[in-house]
Amino acid sequence: MSTIQKSTFTFLKDIAKNNHKDWFDENKPRYLDAKANMESFMDAVQDRLNQTDVISGYKVYRIYRDVRFSKDKTPYKTYLHAYLKREGPSKRGGYWVGIEPGNTHIGGGFYGPEKDDLLRIRKEIEADGKSMYDIINSPNFKKHFGSLKGDGLKTAPKGFDKKHPYIDLLRKKQFYAMESFTDSDVTSAQFADKVVDTLQAIRPFFDYMSDVLTTDLNGRSLV
């Protein structure tokens, strides 16, 4: 499988030190090489995931930052991020690959569920929180991710019991999992295999959430 080249990491380290247009314009061929390397890597990851899932495609995000509403006016990102989309309305969840010196994270989840989806998830947890709890506390999930991540409310959402046994899940507004990797991991020949293992480890959670978000509380299909 394709690998992340050391030259890609070197470029990302250099742009972090030289985050301005003159430097970038002069070094744009290096960026294009790094982007091509990331795309080649993602091609290989997608091919492997499609052996057990159905991925409709991936997107490598632009390096240009949107600074219109940010206090940080540096024009370029110092990382390469990609998103793999599962195909079809019955397959929810997206895989995330973020390559950055000192801060590489692989995983995915649900970062901003729509209001109706969030209520549906909470209603499912209220009725049967153990199903989600068992998945996110399985040995393989904990090995890769430690715990389920995501911002949450400080108290119970409106209409839910603050003493519910799974109140920690009910409070959540986001549901995602990430595994971190060292720089030496990222440039190793085994990194693609590690990425695929990590993304496959989140699959049971995606399958659970897909079942929840494509049915009503009585189990009737919504798609």
- pLDDT tens for the chain, 223 residues long, are 589 999 999 999 999 999 999 999 999 999 999 999 999 999 999 999 999 999 999 999 999 998 888 888 999 999 999 999 998 888 999 999 999 999 999 999 999 899 999 999 999 999 999 999 999 999 999 999 999 999 999 999 999 999 999 999 999 999 999 999 999 999 999 999 999 999 999 999 999 999 999 998 888 888 8
Two structure tokens written together for 201: 């480890």
**Amino acid found at 149:** K
Is residue 1 included in any domain, yes or no?
no
Within a domain: residue 219? Answer: no
Contacts of 24 (CB under 8 A, 6+ apart): 15, 18, 31, 75, 76
Domain count, the chain: 1
Closest to 36 in 3D by CA, of 75, 80, 77, 1: 80
Residue 223, in any domain of the structure: no
Q: Is residue 222 part of a domain?
A: no
Which one, of 123, 126, 121, lies nearest residue 205 by Cα? 121
CATH code for the domain of 32: 3.30.930
Range of the domain at 53: 6-213
pTM of this structure: 0.92
